[in-house]
C-alpha cells in the first residue's frame, strides 16, 4: 500500500460490513487518534445515501471512510459539497479525465455515476466528528454491476478503457480528502463553492427532477446558492432553494 498523507492514520481491512460502521464502532477508543482512514478490499453491506446499498465487490473498487474532528463549525454545512469536490478533483488529477459534480456530492462522468459519498456527523459539546464514506467504481465493466445499476453506474475502467491500480487510488483519495479537509478547517467557504460551481457547470440550465421529502419537483437547475443550497427554477419563474434531497438528471454530464 502506498504512503498516505501523514495526518491520516490508516487501517486496512480485507473485508468488513461497512467501513463507516467499522470506524463508527472504533471511535470511542480512537477519538484521540483522529484523523483516521479505514479502507477495505470489499464491503458486505456498503451504504449510500437514503439507506441505499453500495455495490462493493472485491478487487474492483475503492471503499474508504475518513473520520476527523472539525473545529470550524461554520463550514459544517458544506461538508457534503466539499467532500464531493475533493473526490472529483482527486480523480481528475489521477486519471486526467473530466468529472462533474451532481449536487451535493455524486461524482459523475458521461452520464454515469463513478463515485458516491455518504457524510455523517456526531456533535458533542466541544467537538464535531465527521465521517465521510467514499465508494469509487474503479475497475468494473458493465457486466459486473447488478442489472438494476447497469444503465447508470460507471467506472474508471469503462471511462478510460484501462485498469487502475487500487493501492495508488487509495493514496490519491487520501491526498484529495486531506486537501478538502484543510479547506474546511480554514473556513474557505468561497473557495469550496467556487470549485463546486465549476464542477456543476455541465448541469447548469438543464431541466431536472428533484426529489425532496416525498415530493418530486421539476425545473431548471440554476446552480448553487451562496450557502451551498441547490437553486431550482420552477414553472419558468419561481426560484426555490433546497438543502436536502436528490437531484435527478438524465443524459451525459
Q: What is the CATH number of domain 204-247?
A: 2.30.30
124, β-bridge pairs: none
Other C-beta atoms within 10 Å of 6: how many?
Answer: 7
Residue 69 DSSP SS3: strand
According to CATH, what is the number of the domain 9-200? 3.30.930.10
User: Among 19, 15, 56, which Cα is nearest to 153's?
Assistant: 56
Running along the chain, 253 residues long, what does each successive block of 10 average in pLDDT?
62 94 92 92 79 80 94 85 97 97 96 94 84 96 92 96 95 93 91 97 95 92 96 90 89 67
Give the integer Cα–Cα distance in Å for 228 and 53.
Answer: 26
* pLDDT of amino acid 3: 42
Give CA–CA dist 123/223, Å, rounded.
29
Domains of the chain, by residue range, sit at 9-200, 204-247
Domains 9-200 and 204-247 share a fold: no
Amino acid at each position: 500500500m502506498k504512503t498516505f498523507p501523514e495526518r491520516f492514520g490508516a487501517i486496512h481491512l480485507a473485508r468488513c460490513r461497512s467501513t463507516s460502521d467499522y470506524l463508527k464502532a472504533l471511535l470511542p477508543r480512537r477519538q484521540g487518534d483522529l484523523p483516521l482512514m479505514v479502507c477495505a478490499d470489499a464491503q458486505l453491506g456498503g451504504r449510500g445515501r437514503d439507506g441505499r446499498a453500495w455495490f462493493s465487490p472485491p478487487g474492483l473498487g475503492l471503499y474508504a471512510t475518513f473520520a476527523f474532528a472539525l473545529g470550524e463549525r461554520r463550514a459544517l454545512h458544506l461538508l457534503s459539497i466539499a467532500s464531493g469536490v475533493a473526490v472529483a478533483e482527486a480523480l481528475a488529477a489521477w486519471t486526467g479525465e473530466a468529472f462533474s459534480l451532481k449536487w451535493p456530492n455524486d461524482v459523475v462522468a458521461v452520464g454515469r455515476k463513478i463515485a458516491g459519498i455518504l457524510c455523517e456527523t456526531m456533535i458533542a459539546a466541544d467537538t464535531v466528528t465527521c465521517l465521510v464514506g467514499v465508494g469509487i467504481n474503479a475497475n468494473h465493466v458493465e457486466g459486473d454491476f447488478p442489472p438494476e445499476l447497469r444503465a447508470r453506474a460507471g467506472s474508471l475502467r469503462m471511462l478510460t478503457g484501462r485498469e487502475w491500480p487500487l493501492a495508488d487510488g487509495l493514496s490519491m483519495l487520501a491526498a484529495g480528502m486531506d486537501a478538502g479537509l484543510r479547506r474546511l478547517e480554514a473556513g474557505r467557504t468561497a473557495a469550496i463553492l467556487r470549485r463546486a460551481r465549476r464542477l456543476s457547470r455541465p448541469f447548469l440550465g438543464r431541466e431536472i427532477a428533484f426529489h425532496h421529502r416525498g415530493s418530486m419537483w421539476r425545473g431548471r437547475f440554476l446552480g448553487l446558492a451562496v450557502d451551498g443550497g441547490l437553486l431550482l427554477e420552477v414553472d419558468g419563474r419561481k426560484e426555490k432553494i433546497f438543502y436536502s434531497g436528490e437531484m435527478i438528471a438524465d443524459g451525459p454530464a
